[in-house]
Amino acid sequence: MKFATKVIHAGIEPDPSTGAIMTPIFQTSTYVQAAPGDHKGYEYARTQNPTRAVLEKNLAALENGTDAICFSSGLAAQDAVIKLLKSGDEVLSVNDLYGGSYRQMVRVYGPWGLKSRYVDMTDAATVEAAIGPDTRLLWIETPTNPMLSIVDIEAVCAIARKHGILTVVDNTFASPFLQNPLDLGADIVLHSATKYIGGHSDVVHGCLIVRDAELGQRLHFIQNASGAVPGPQDCFLILRGIKTLHLRVQRSCENAAAIAEYLAAHSKVAKVYWPGFAHHPNHAVAKKQMRMFGAMVSFDLKDNTPEAANKVLSGTHLFSLAESLGGVESLIGHPASMTHASIPREERLKVGLTDSLIRLSVGVEDVSDLIADLDACIG
């Protein structure tokens, strides 16, 4: 099945009891048993829920995996992955990691004895040199947030495999429509489905997708034993969002390309970060592993004072100033004070995340309206 067919059909059958064409929301906490242990495969809703089970089958298909495990948020999905490790183990992560991921590794799991280090993963040789005796997990995010660097998933996963290290790719920024890390050698794909997969900014949700049955079983065990499961209504909303994933992401990417070109040609813009530019340092890798270049664009103004950035951040009408990304509506954000505020300033500056950097999540509106909205504020 091709991607556009999978989003509609993979794992989805009309409800056998009623013929309902849409997956019902099984809003129940428990299931009746005819005799102790005599049930229809469902005992208690933390462990199994039919709406969630359909979503897990569909997500597994979208990432070319065999199993998906759903959580109440992207960070709950990350939390389950970290629980595969033990005290003294080390995670080696990309250096411009999502702020919430960094906060969990350092501030929640640091006191439990988890070690974490952050390296530039755009060069595979740097990754190999950074691997230490306690490194058990490589945490890849690509494109990275908000600098939109690209990590060569195939090259880095090959190094990890050689050293017997598990790899996770946070595929949130690309979505399964643009990039499938399991095909490139990753062990686990993570999504904050809050973003592109849900796509309508109306639900918080996370998932993991794997190909190895034993790894899938361990993660399902943690899902049930730790309990950060999504409710059936949230699973329904994610299933509904997925049906148009390919259409939304394609249009968003086309709009982002036009906006990146517009910004690059603007006399008041200093620098535009978008992996679709031929001069982007990792353009060739992006071209190799992604179907399109994504719908996130970051830029810095020549006048890099907070006042100039604020004029744009608070002046747009169609781009709403808000956290998050990946919805049908365009958003504008200020990483230094919003998504990346939990990362120390010196760490931020090291990767080029200045106090005046502006990040756009480009939606599916008419692109000429979006450009006019920016133009009115940049001047």
Find the catalytic residue in 31, 46, 117, 287.
46
Q: Which of 182, 232, 243, 233 is nearest to 212 (CA)?
A: 182
Find the catalytic residue in 6, 136, 195, 348.
195
Residue 142 near ligand PLP by CB under 6 A: no
Mask for 146-185, x = binds ligand PLP (CB under 6 A): ------------------------x-xx------------
Residue 274 near ligand PLP by CB under 6 A: no
Residue 223 near ligand PLP by CB under 6 A: no
**100/352 with CB nearer ligand PLP:** 100
Using CA atoms, how far apart are residues 37 and 18, in angstroms rounded to an integer? 26
Residue 234 near ligand PLP by CB under 6 A: no
**73/180 with CB nearer ligand PLP:** 73
Residue 75 near ligand PLP by CB under 6 A: yes
Number of residues that bind ligand PLP (CB under 6 A): 16
**12/206 with CB nearer ligand PLP:** 206
What sign has the CA pseudo-torsion 110, 113, 119, 123? negative
* In the complex, least distance from residue 144 CB atom to ligand PLP, rounded to whole angstroms: 8
Among 204, 208, 242, 256, binds ligand PLP (CB under 6 A): 204
| Catalytic (active site) residue 46 | yes
Query: Contacts by 101-109 with C-beta closer than 8 Å and gap 24+?
Result: 101/75, 101/139, 101/141, 101/170, 102/342, 102/343, 103/342, 104/75, 104/78, 104/79, 105/139, 108/79, 109/82
Characterize 2-18 residue by residue with b for buried, 16 or more Cβ atoms within 10 angstroms of its Cβ, and e for exposed.
ebeebbeebbbeeeeee
Residue numbers at the binding site for ligand PLP (CB under 6 A): 73-75, 98, 100-101, 141, 145, 170, 172-173, 192, 194-195, 204, 206
